[in-house]
A and B are shown apart, each in its own frame.
Chain A
């Protein structure tokens, strides 16, 4: 049995690796092949054929696209992602200096959002149809259907402008004291949490309610179990698979949300570096950043898949 699970998991991991390879080809095609001749674009219309040829050679454009792709990919895999076209610093070093900030932001957000969403989701499912459920569900729908920057703006208006609890803009990461650390993380984490909790609690609620419709729940109720016992002892264990799936899916959504939040709060993370690179059309930086995000995304999606395989015996025989 365990061997079967292991084989299925390895299958998913291999599939994710293959997807990542295809994605890398897609990213390379869009950024380096389709836009046309980078040397021509850089020199403009008046370039002589000689200077064009010289720049092409300097940029390594004088070889076929397939060879360039292979060089780029092997460079990426060995940690030599090239230099930024704007600052001429190594891309790897630029990302390395920002990555801890983003990971920390993501970790704190996940640590706050996941338990909160699970508790709210299960509670909403337990008292479904009640005032509590309606408020929580309506709030979640509202948060999901508005842009992240509206959530961020409202958070600033409430907590910084009206209540004066927190500074409006994060002024970088500050570890001098717990209080300062809290202040520098509060707004970004709050915004990201709002968005993630909304998504996750909707999925959690749906997963638990789905279980509550099953025939065995009717049996449990006929035995005279209380609603709380029905949900916590019977429905919840069977909903663990879909819930774990929901958590991983929402965490992958964090990758998109973090782009907006890092920008609006001036947070020095990977996503804001990526946005700046796109604005300056700094291709080596964009390519590397895109591959990092895609790899993280595929990792989380695969994790979600693996969670549902491990939790649901029926999926093992598909």
Chain B
């Protein structure tokens, strides 16, 4: 959870410009697309590549990954095996592509859980005021006094490492960060005149939350969702690397690094390629968010 200190700073800094991005987003998509610079386009391409791999990959690569190849163990990168072969002589590229769905799927589910619940709780806190706000904020603060990886270890020790546990764990760990950002945005919106008018009109708390505040914080929260996704991917990869995440025979990219750890002393491609795949995904998401046209005015994160 200590990781969440960094995005907080950027996203809060982005808060004042919340209305500008919305206008840009509502304008022609094409115009926005043109304003994305080259770095942004390149990261978008990498991201789309992995999303495509997650959607189509398993059906395209079904023959290569599971069959035991008769090729050498820990073979280097070659024309036949673009990512080399693993500790059983299997094609690493096929294994990586097969792991994409699990890697991205679990991380996305956890991120949506964290951002969704964090935003809803923040709206509730902002619209309700005083003691609900105080109780929620205290509870969230308590969660942040356990380091993220340590919380994950405790959860896995107690409940095992099934996919629902992993999603829930990562969701809880990154909820406080999303809550804090959403709350600081929502409190500002809550002080606006039109919210006061809506209150005077006699609108209920739910209406204020969903119709008055939510539309105005959705833009920055989406950018925050991307950053949160990066942290979740890194956390889940670390857990799988420790053997405490996705369990065999299923394998995400972190598990691929773990099962090929034997390639480390010989410098095989089998360990470096899955790790680079994770890096390409997280760096692409980071760079894409930094190079979104409406965030270009801010210090690169």
Chain A residues near B (Cβ < 8 Å)? 19-20, 22-23, 26-27, 30-31, 34-35, 137, 141-142, 144-150, 153-154, 156-157, 160-162, 168-169, 206, 249, 252-253, 255-256, 259-260, 263-264, 274-275, 277-279, 281, 283, 286, 290, 293-294, 297-298, 301
Contacts and interface: CB of A to CB of B under 8 A. Distances in A.
Contacts of B278: 146-147, 150
B153 A274 contact: yes
Interface residues on B, range: 35 or more
Contact of A297 (B2, B155, B282): B2
Interface stretch (B30-38, B87-95, B121-129, B263-271): B263-271
Contacts of B41: none
B11 to A, nearest CB: 15
Contacts, number: 143
Nearest to B142: A22
A68 to B, nearest CB: 15
Contacts of B150: 255-256, 290, 293-294, 297
Given A31-B157, A297-B2, A256 B142 contact: no
Contacts of B244: 275, 278-279
A30 B6 CA distance: 28
A150 B279 contact: yes
Contacts of B6: 144
Contact of B145 (A19, A145, A275, A279): A19
11 contacts: A34-B158, A146-B283, A147-B238, A156-B264, A168-B265, A249-B2, A255-B150, A256-B147, A256-B149, A256-B150, A297-B145
A130 to B, nearest CB: 16
A260 B238 contact: yes
Contacts of A298: 145
B275 A147 contact: yes
Interface in B191-248: 230, 234, 237-238, 241-244
Nearest to B263: A153
Given A149-B238, A293-B147, A142 B283 contact: yes
B264 A153 contact: yes
Output the residue of A146, A147, A294, A298 with the most chain B CB within 10 A: A147
7 closest A-B pairs by beta carbon, nearest first, are A161-B267, A168-B265, A146-B279, A150-B275, A256-B149, A278-B157, A286-B157
B238 A148 contact: yes
A294 B147 contact: yes
Given A141-B300, A256-B150, 10 more contacts: A22-B142, A146-B275, A146-B283, A147-B278, A147-B279, A149-B241, A153-B257, A161-B265, A259-B149, A278-B242
B135 interface: no
B147 A255 contact: yes
A283 B283 CA distance: 37
Contacts of A22: 142, 145
A234 B295 CA distance: 31
Contacts of B158: 30-31, 34-35, 283
B172 to A, nearest CB: 10
Contacts of A156: 264-265, 267
B267 A294 contact: no
Interface in B243-292: 243-244, 254, 257, 261, 264-267, 271-272, 275-276, 278-279, 282-283, 286
B119 to A, nearest CB: 23
Contacts of A263: 241-242
A147 B286 contact: no
A23 B142 contact: yes
Contacts of B299: 206
Nearest to A277: B157
Interface in B132-161: 142, 145-150, 153-159
A141 B10 CA distance: 14
B278 to A, nearest CB: 6
A212 to B, nearest CB: 13
B241 A160 contact: no
A153 B271 contact: yes
Contacts of A275: 153, 242, 244
Contacts of B153: 259, 274-275, 278, 286, 290
B29 interface: no
Interface in B143-185: 145-150, 153-159
A30 B275 contact: no
A168 B147 contact: no
B145 A259 contact: no
A153 B272 contact: yes
B68 interface: no
